[in-house]
Amino acid sequence: MKQIAVLHLNRPETAETVTFMGHMLHIHHLNCANDLEKARELIAQYDGQVDAIALNGMPAELELGPAQRAHEQGASLTAVAQQTPVVDGRIIRAGLERWGMILADRAQPGIFSRKQVLMTPGLNHNGMARAFEKHGGTLRYADPFIYFNLPKVPGVGLRQTRNQAAPFTLDRLKDVPYAALYPQANGQPAANQAPFDWADVIAGDIGTIRYFAPATLKRKTVVVESATEADLADLQARGVDIVVTLMPALDGAAGLGRWSAATVEAALTALRQNADAPLNEDTYLDMMANLEWTPAIRSLQADNADVNRFAFVIHPLSVSFIHHHRAFRWTKYLPDGLVEAFAAYMPPIPISRITGGQSPTTGQRIEGHLFSLGATPRQMMRHGERFTYNRLRQAAQMAERKGARIMGLGAFTSVVGDAGITVAHEADIAITSGNSLTVAATLEAAKQAVINMGATDLTKGKVMIIGATGSIGSVCSRLLAQAIYDVVLVSIEPERLIDLKRTIQEETPGAKVAIATRPDELIGDCDLIVTATSAFGQRIVDITKCKPGAVICDVARPPDINKAEAALRPDVLVIESGEVLIPGDIDFGYNIGLPPKTAYACLAETALLAMDGRFEDYTLGRNISVERVKEIYRLFKKHQFQIADLRSFEEVVTEEQFAAKRQLAAELKANPMRFAQLQAETGAQLAKIPVQAKGVSSRRKSSGGLVAVVATAVGGLALLLWNRRGK
């Protein structure tokens, strides 16, 4: 049986026997009591009696970035032994830290992505630092206030800390006693809260972290080379979410890594096949390659264990949404055009945390993060596609930092440019437009609406799809043709209409398909009208021409039809596209403009994919797959999502309202003269309502170059003030 001795600065003496890499290994844990003379005595005592000696917390060499310095006390300790190798973990630590973080990321993808990391300390943890860099992390070092008692961590980047400050730091530390280099928890958390508040991840040595970290570390991740159950209990009490230990477990179990790099290096040294092999990285590489282990990832908070995370991006549909945000209420005192223009330049803003979602079928819990861009649809149209792409890429990076593995594109962000393809290519997390479930929910809502309006056999009806060649409209057309057989396709793209008609006729033989570039001549025969356009400044539907009791399902956001137009025909039902009830005690943490627990279908698709563990680019581009729509509807049923109550202009349609519309429609059908008179009267009234769609008038005024310049300046000032307020 191989034996190693591990010298600790301050730990009770114990012994243990483990099976490591197929060999029995006896470990003597020895206490030096912070006394280097006693450490020398123990090394001399065990020299020749064990196969390796580990100096835990007593490095012979200090490293910070590219700088290296010998620690005089450590160098003297390694020279005491004449027969037994003495190691301090330096040779294997960096490699195992980098490898451990790769394995941890494979086990829990995104756990380190784009995090703000506080190295506590960065001393002798170059492997961690470089690994965080590769995961897009932003690093700061706690070394200044740990070792030099500076009041706070300077806001410097990794490059400056490592390349400029490192030599100076090490020159000051090479003579510092080990007890000061590696302070241990004393039960009194430090009061230096700010650096730790900034960080998503606190990485370094467990004793140093416990000594300097404040009492509150809510939602933090701690990454260390090793930890004990007592360490985890302390971090759990402070609110830490996750602890990752990067060193292998010497007992071969998949549990907590409680052995330090120095101990692991001593174990590998003792198990060398060739006892004369030099103690360098090459000697250890083959042995390390044979290790079968995954770093321990321990969730400390029960309410955050096994949670799948997603993100969703929204934006103001009009300038009034900006005025209503608590941080920007002051903007109502400025001209709307100016506010709308400068808001478009703002980066994504975190809005809220979505909690409480859970599948009744599988029990899988989900958590979401809501972000908002500043641009209205009108501003997105005025700027180039790249303008919006850049902000969505920023949002994806922010979402990744919060642990989201999929992000949904809400409202107009899902139709800008190539409808999510470029965003998905540039993002490191999955992207979906949400349009597959939007289609499924729209068709389900339309079915319920038509039934509520008195239809008994949908196959005998007639349906019109306006915007039929768009991403949502085309797949709606194909699926509606399979259910109703008599469809009218309307689009301003005649060549694509022809292609879509042929596709439907091939997929659904016997379907009757009419095509037109305008709806006016054919709309009077249709029982159901679905509008799914991205048009601005025009009248999408002349509601006065609709047949009595018709149903209009307005999929577009912002909507194609306004409330004033709908009021002209009280017999016609105008509903929004199907909203969705997400299972569980869902709380959006923000008023998204819907009743409690109710989500837009595009948001619900993102949540549904997270709930099912489908972290993949799901709905992208303008050619939505019919198979994807059917698949997402199966997942919808599997996890017991539901269509919410039908709504019209943000209000639930009651049974009394359905009944009143059915009665009025029946009266108009029975009295053609009265209906003709109604059409004439409402036609005259409609002419007085401004022509618009998406809330945008057909007449647009240019803001001018001066407004754009002022807007940019004001926007920058507002953002600066907001960031300072947040800090």
The pair of three-digit structure tokens given for residue 429, joined into one six-digit string: 């997390």
Query: Would strands 23-31 and 14-20 be described as parallel, antiparallel, or unpaired?
Result: antiparallel
Category of 650 on φ-ψ map: left (φ > 0), alpha (ψ -120 to 50) or beta: left
Separation between Cα atoms, residue 712 and residue 727, nearest integer Å = 23
Tokens of 136: 């897009």
> Cα–Cα distance between 291 and 445 in angstroms, integer?
56
Q: Which pLDDT belongs to residue 705?
A: 38
- How far is 395 from 371, CA to CA, in rounded Å? 7
* pLDDT at residue number 193: 76
Instruction: Supply the pLDDT for residue 459.
Output: 77
Q: Residue 721 has what pLDDT?
A: 38
Least confident of 12-16, 476-480, 482-486, 576-580: 576-580
Q: What is the mean pLDDT of residues 501-506?
A: 95
Nearest to 617 by CA among 626, 607, 606, 627: 606
Confidence of residue 707 (pLDDT cuts 50, 70, 90): very low
Q: Can you give the pLDDT at residue 22? A: 87
* Exposure class string for 266-291: b at 16+ Cβ within 10 A, else e: bbbbbbbeeeeeeeeeebbeebeeee
Residue bearing the bigger pLDDT, 696 or 105: 105
For the chain, percent of residues with pLDDT exceeding 90: 60
pLDDT confidence band for 472 (50 / 70 / 90): confident
pLDDT(295) > 70:
yes
Confidence label for 165 from pLDDT (cuts 50, 70 and 90) = low
pLDDT at 578: 80
- Min mean pLDDT across 392-406, 605-619, 680-694 is at 680-694
Sign of CA dihedral 537, 541, 542, 544: negative
Model pLDDT, residue 305: 66
Q: How many angstroms separate the CA atoms of 413 and 240, rounded?
A: 35
The confidence band for 655, taking pLDDT boundaries of 50, 70 and 90, is: very high
The percent of the chain in helix, strand and coil, each rounded to the nearest 5, is 40, 20, 40
Distance (Å, rounded) from C-alpha 311 to C-alpha 367?
8
pLDDT at 156: 39
For residues 200 and 223, the answer to whether their CB atoms sit within 8 Å is: no
Best CA proximity match to 535, nearest among 666, 676, 381, 399:
381
Q: What is the pLDDT of residue 703?
A: 38
Higher pLDDT, 394 or 723: 394
Burial of 459 (0-12, 13-18, 19+ CB in 10 A): exposed
pLDDT tens for each residue of 440-470 = 999 999 999 999 998 877 778 899 999 999 8
Q: What is the pLDDT of residues 524-552, one digit of tens each?
A: 999 999 998 876 668 889 999 999 999 99
Per-residue pLDDT, 702? 38
Question: Which residues lie below 8 Å from residue 101, measured CB to CB, with a gap of 6+?
Answer: 112, 128, 131, 132, 135, 223, 246, 295
**pLDDT of amino acid 359:** 96
User: In this predicted structure, what is the pLDDT of residue 348?
Assistant: 95
Let me know: does 74 contact 36? Beta carbons within 8 Å: no
Q: At what angle do helices 672-688 and 655-670 cross, to 10 degrees?
A: 120
First to last CA, the chain: 57
User: Given this model, what pLDDT does residue 201 score?
Assistant: 96
HSE-up (13 A, CA, CB side) for residue 727 = 9
The pLDDT of residue 716: 40
CA 561 from centre of chain: 33
Average pLDDT over residues 580-594: 92
Tell me the per-residue pLDDT of 217-266, one tens digit each, with 9 for 90 and over.
Answer: 998 999 999 999 999 999 999 999 999 999 999 887 667 889 999 999 99
Residue 190 amino acid letter: A
The answer to whether 689 touches 565, Cβ cutoff 8 Å, is: yes
Task: Kindly state the average pLDDT of the residues 19-26.
Answer: 91
Q: Of 289-298, 315-324, 628-637, which one has max mean pLDDT?
A: 628-637
How many CB atoms are closer than 10 A to CB 523? 23
Place of tokens 């005491």: 80
DSSP string, 119-174: EET-TT-HHHHHHHHHTT-EEEE-HHHHHS--SS-----HHHIIIIIHHHHHHHHT
Cα–Cα distance between 106 and 85 in angstroms, integer?
35
What CA–CA distance (Å, rounded) separates 431 from 417? 15
Q: Which residue is listed with tokens 């956001």? A: 557
CA 250 to each of CA 100, 338, 576, 627, 669: distance values in angstroms, whole numbers, following the listed order: 15, 64, 60, 49, 83
Which residue's entry shows tokens 């021409």? 545
Q: Which residues contact 130 (CB under 8 A, 6 or more apart)?
A: 94, 98
Shortest CA distance to 375 belongs to which of 317, 447, 313, 457? 317
Task: Compute the C-alpha angle 166/170/172, nearest 5°.
Answer: 120
Asked if pLDDT for residue 163 goes beyond 90, the answer is: no
Which pLDDT belongs to residue 278? 82
Angle between helices 601-611 and 626-638 (to 10 degrees): 70
pLDDT (tens digit per residue) in 38-94: 999 999 999 999 999 999 999 999 999 888 999 888 888 988 999 999 999 999 999
Average pLDDT for residues 140-152, to the nearest whole number? 76
Give the contacts of 155 (CB within 8 A, at least 6 positions apart).
Answer: 140
Starting at the earlier edge strand, list the strands of the sheet with 14-20: 14-20, 23-31, 2-8, 52-56, 86-87
pLDDT at 186: 63
Q: Containing H/E element for 67?
A: strand 67-70
With CA atoms as reference, report the closest residue to 503 among 632, 623, 634, 421: 623
Structure confidence at residue 712 as a pLDDT band (50, 70, 90)? very low
d(CA 22, CA 19): 6
**Structure confidence at residue 152 (pLDDT):** 47
Confidence of residue 3 (pLDDT cuts 50, 70, 90): very high
CB atoms within 10 A of CB 259: 25
Which residue type is seen at 158?
L
Give the CA angle between residues 383, 387, 392 to the nearest 5°. 135
Higher pLDDT, 194 or 43: 43
Pairing mode, strands 365-372 and 221-224: unpaired
The larger pLDDT score, comparing residue 224 to residue 194, is at 224
Mean pLDDT, rounded, of the chain: 87
Per-residue pLDDT, 451: 92
Q: What is the pLDDT of residue 167?
A: 79
Mean pLDDT on 124-135:
93
